[in-house]
Amino acid sequence: MEKKIIVLLITAVFVAGAGWALFGSPPERTPSEEEEGVAEKEEDFQEIKEILPDILAEVKKVRSLSYNFTETEEGKVVSGKIYQKEDKIRMEVEEGGEQVVTLLNIDEKSAYTYFPSENIALEIEFDEASDALDRSVKEQALAVFDHDLEVTGKEEVGGKETVVIEYTAERENVKMWIWKEYGLPVKVETGLRERKIEIREVDFNYISDDMFNLPPDVQLVESPFI
């Protein structure tokens, strides 16, 4: 019985081989559209991964920028404007119908809250100005160098070509849409706090140093916490 099976197998192989010898090689399998799409996507991701360090490095060339932002966190929406020049940040928001300005000097670790309508200012602890840092997309872009990044896609956001990256920071997943031309995130989402920030009307024109200083005639109010 075993001999018959072996003979049959040898015959089948011989017949198949003879058939392909007579009629040509077996037909090649054509990849499906879905398989081609997956392969193309993998190639794109690989290309993006290779150029990602160059894209992120662009942010270091940005000296001055300003933009409007909208931040949503746990259902609360805050809109405002950020100006940044080197290590100086100015953030303008509306609170209770009044404009509130935060002035931050990262290098000197100093911060002030300024109320233009009353022309008074309050020196605050640097850590209390964390909102301004969190809303600075340049500072967020610089911070990604400290994490292991994963490229998850590419999208167009507000007419800007972006690379989508994700990483984990302090046990929280962070997702960023990085503007390919300037290395700046135009959209950021974080998981635990359900926080999202988007920027628009980005301007890279020169900003005067006066924007980051208190007016000479401002009334400084001493803070009980300094």
CA 111/CA 128 separation, integer angstroms = 8
Q: Which residues contact 10 (CB under 8 A, 6 or more apart)?
A: none
Please give the structure tokens belonging to residue 57.
Answer: 């490095």
**Mean pLDDT in runs of 10 for the chain (226 residues)?**
42 42 54 55 71 89 96 92 96 93 95 96 91 91 88 93 92 93 94 87 96 95 68
Q: Give the chain's length.
A: 226
Q: What is the pLDDT of residue 42?
A: 63
Q: What is the pLDDT of residue 16?
A: 43
CA 135/CA 70 separation, integer angstroms = 9
CA 107/CA 125 separation, integer angstroms = 14
Cβ atoms of 93 and 66 within 8 Å: the answer is no
Q: What is the pLDDT of residue 9?
A: 38
Q: Kindly write down the DSSP assignment for every residue of 150-219, as one continuous string.
A: EEEEEEEETTEEEEEEEEEETTEEEEEEEETTT--EEEEEETTTTEEEEEEEEE-S---GGGGS--TT-E
DSSP 97: T
Per CATH, the number for 53-221 is: 2.50.20.10
- Alpha-carbon torsion (211, 214, 218, 224), positive or negative: positive
Q: What is the pLDDT of residue 7?
A: 39
Cβ atoms of 184 and 141 within 8 Å: the answer is yes
Q: Which residues pair with 93 in a beta bridge?
A: 80, 100
Q: What is the pLDDT of residue 15?
A: 40
pTM score above 0.85: no
Categorise residue 163: left if φ over 0, alpha if ψ from -120 to 50, beta otherwise: beta
Q: What is the pLDDT of residue 169?
A: 85
CA 9/CA 210 separation, integer angstroms = 89
Q: What is the pLDDT of residue 224?
A: 62
List the one residue out of 114, 90, 124 whose CA is nearest residue 104: 90
